[in-house]
Structure 1
């Protein structure tokens, strides 16, 4: 999922509203600000698998506070109001977005996403589709500027660093690349973020969210975000599959 889709799913904002009025604050994927279950039957039990403090992954001997020192089975904790499990704690999750340290004012207000690279199917010289690769994928190529003439939604294929790391991001980018002249290739995001010198941000770092068994409670808030090189892995980071719903938003038999 994209970062926006993931946050929407994590908050599950259907159990804290009445009509169109939000009647209960939600800091986590459940109501309120507490990390323990308030229901009488389960009162005091942890609602997620996380790290309470340095060296405290599961509580004191004889009384485990969240039932796990590392990962725990998916159904060990309660789902959110969408019926989704582990949207906070247990394992952090990758999202599709390329990371940039931006505020909400820098994003579109509808389904924002950073990472678009527009491609087209690749054909051979005779006009036939290229043979599939070893994984069964049909080869694709990035679209050319000539193919985009007349388009209004985008002009170039790679939009990962659109207005954030490319030449047009800054009024005067001469301090990035003093030798920049008209006609030369514009500086990429490595110039802006000085990758490998002052930051670890480039066009290959993806956002991950959700908090894990190895994180403090702060990172379980759906709005928090971190990043990592997309080809790296850790013991506390995974992913979940997502798909768009096709058809009526209320399902069969709903209002028309």
Structure 2
């Protein structure tokens, strides 16, 4: 009897297990929202799993968190342009090093191949992207070797690129996004193999065009966008009806871009290295631990931790073991990385960030992913409601105040326009396209000046950030005459085209190595001590793995 009862119990247990297995199997196949098969997502018959964002070429993962943004040390300059505020930054990725001469040369060579400067209509593209090597010239200094050799000589290949304006850095970032995603699509089999080597001015890949109007990618060349092994890839992914990669596939990476000021400062501090039970121990002055610029470790005690100007006429120290190894810029990775694994977040070159400069950080309005510089755009549509693509005939050029002509829209990109009343109607989070002036320390950016006789007129409401507007007058014969703004009513050098740059450089004293320091320069200017590095937003989870509790 006991044996029979045992067999019955085993049979019941088996039935229950099978039922559970069946339930789990059905659950995996169906939607948690409706119980229906999960249609429209990766074939509809398999469970959708969270997919980790891949780290793009050259990037390092930066886990986000809370930090004190702003100057926490003394303020001998007395300008108070970055008072301490508590900010939170989302996780993101940042370049391990500054963008090097070699990396920028790849960009220049690609432009030269796709838009040959020998053709008059493309000549300005190549010239507008070139770094300004004349930034090395000095009225009372002999730097001609740097003028001639720094950007192109292989000995300087792994040195940070300089002579690049903020505008040029942004264009490089956009180019880098498209080249990385183009390679990803090729490796996934969604575009023709080696298509990236066959680009012409009328057949250029652009990420946003591919996502929003894929049939217009590569100038509408269908043979390229239907990769050679696309069918096999689609079968493997479980969707035989999908032709193009979409955002939901998680294949393409977000855009490379300049980091925001908050991201750059947070990454430079590397607070993760001194975190103790979720509190900060002391005030951190440099990207490394400790109050000194020389190493305190036994194996390299006394070595400089960054290259900077140590004193009047002293850019590297006395030659020998105590020399910092760099009279001007240094090869990337010449000094130890900070606790996030980032190199040269102090010294070497200062770096452009995305933000428009204002003396204040308005944490009262926002303390999450702080950024000033938003200009919201949307794809421009034709009369038929179709997106418009830039062609070689409709390329957009911009003549900068210093006379340099740069391309802002390349063939293959989507034509864009500012958002309008339709998008802003009844919204509470934004009301217009251009938000660079929003809450920037004054009453709607206007200053009333009663000193003139017609003080009540509209003309005497002076903008607080009204830097001089210099113009270039182009005559019919092509000659250019510069006209300087000599108005006596200008009261600042700051405008909506003035951008922040962070970090000390080879040309700066120790004071500027503090990540909290901030300076500004018009976005079209370049120097021999400002470079840049790219960042990328993090999609999905804040951290890559579960953080462990502190054990000490």
TM-score range for the pair, normalised by the shorter chain length: 0.7 to 0.9
Deviations 1:178-231 (A, max 9, x none): 4229xxxx96xx721342343210010100001110011111111000001111
**Paired position in structure 1 for 2:464:** 192
My pick for the range that moved more, 72-81 or 19-28, is 19-28
Which of 438, 441, 448 is equivalent to 1:173?
A: 448
Deviations 1:63-121 (A, max 9, x none): 55311011101110000000000111101111110001115656622111111111111
**Paired position in structure 1 for 2:519:** 226
| Inter-CA distance 143–173: structure 2 relative to 1 (3 Å threshold) | farther
Q: SS of the residue aligned with 1:147?
A: helix
Which of 260, 268, 274 is equivalent to 1:16?
A: 274
Q: SS of the residue aligned with 1:168?
A: coil
Which of 279, 288, 292 is equivalent to 1:34?
A: 292
Instruction: Note the C-alpha offset of 1:14.
Output: 1.1
Which of 245, 248, 254 is equivalent to 2:538?
A: 245
Aligned positions of 1:104-143 closer than 5 A: 105=363, 108-132=366-390, 133=395, 134-143=410-419
Instruction: Note the C-alpha offset of 1:137.
Output: 1.8
**Paired position in structure 2 for 1:160:** 436
**Paired position in structure 2 for 1:81:** 339
Q: Distance between the aligned counterparts of 1:57 and 1:206, measured in 2?
A: 27
Unaligned runs of at least 5 residues, structure 1 = none
CA RMSD of aligned residues (A): 2.5
- 8 A contact 2:360–2:440 mirrored in 1: no
* 4+ long deviations beyond 4 Å: 103-107, 174-178, 252-255
**Paired position in structure 2 for 1:48:** 306
Instruction: Note the C-alpha offset of 1:41.
Output: 0.1
| Inter-CA distance 248–124: structure 2 relative to 1 (3 Å threshold) | same
**Paired position in structure 2 for 1:208:** 501
TM-score by length of structure 1 reads 0.87
TM-score by length of structure 2 reads 0.42
Which of 52, 57, 79 is equivalent to 2:315?
A: 57
Instruction: Note the C-alpha offset of 1:20.
Output: 1.3
- 8 A contact 2:445–2:464 mirrored in 1: no
Q: Distance between the aligned counterparts of 1:122 and 1:103, measured in 2?
A: 33
- 8 A contact 1:89–1:212 mirrored in 2: yes
Q: Distance between the aligned counterparts of 2:274 and 2:260, measured in 1?
A: 24
Q: Distance between the aligned counterparts of 2:322 and 2:525, measured in 1?
A: 31
Instruction: Note the C-alpha offset of 1:175.
Output: 4.6
Q: SS of the residue aligned with 1:73?
A: coil
My pick for the range that moved more, 92-101 or 104-113, is 104-113
- 8 A contact 1:12–1:81 mirrored in 2: yes
Q: SS of the residue aligned with 1:44?
A: coil
Q: Distance between the aligned counterparts of 1:193 and 1:254, measured in 2?
A: 45
Number of residue equivalences? 248
Unaligned runs of at least 5 residues, structure 2 = 1-258, 396-409, 469-489
- 8 A contact 1:24–1:32 mirrored in 2: no
| Inter-CA distance 146–245: structure 2 relative to 1 (3 Å threshold) | closer
Instruction: Note the C-alpha offset of 1:167.
Output: 5.3
Q: Distance between the aligned counterparts of 2:321 and 2:302, measured in 1?
A: 12
- 8 A contact 1:17–1:24 mirrored in 2: no
